[in-house]
Amino acid sequence: MWLGERTEISLHPYQLACLLLILKKTHGSFELQGVQDKDLNSQAHSSITQRLH
């Protein structure tokens, strides 16, 4: 994943805004579809969220 490969390079503000929007929308959509919390709040999701905030 390209985000994991560029941990030392900061994101452009537009990239950050787009990724945060995508993350929020997909997380909410998965919740509505009944995906279990343990799958939604996985280590991968947590690390991506931490990296973006």
Instruction: Tell me the two tokens of residue 32.
Output: 């509505």
Q: What number of H helices and E strands is found in the chain?
A: 4, 0
**pLDDT score recorded for residue 32:** 87
Has residue 33 been placed in a domain? Answer: yes
Q: Is the pTM for the entire model greater than 0.75?
A: no
Higher-pLDDT residue of 53, 12: 12
Has residue 17 been placed in a domain? Answer: yes
* Structure confidence at residue 14 as a pLDDT band (50, 70, 90): very high
- CA-to-CA distance for 40 and 9, rounded, in angstroms? 27
In percent, the amount of the chain with pLDDT more than 70 equals 94
Has residue 5 been placed in a domain? Answer: no
Has residue 35 been placed in a domain? Answer: yes
**pLDDT score recorded for residue 1:** 63
Range of 48's domain? 12-52
Kindly tell me if the per-residue pLDDT of 40 is higher than 90.
Answer: no
Number of domains in the chain: 1
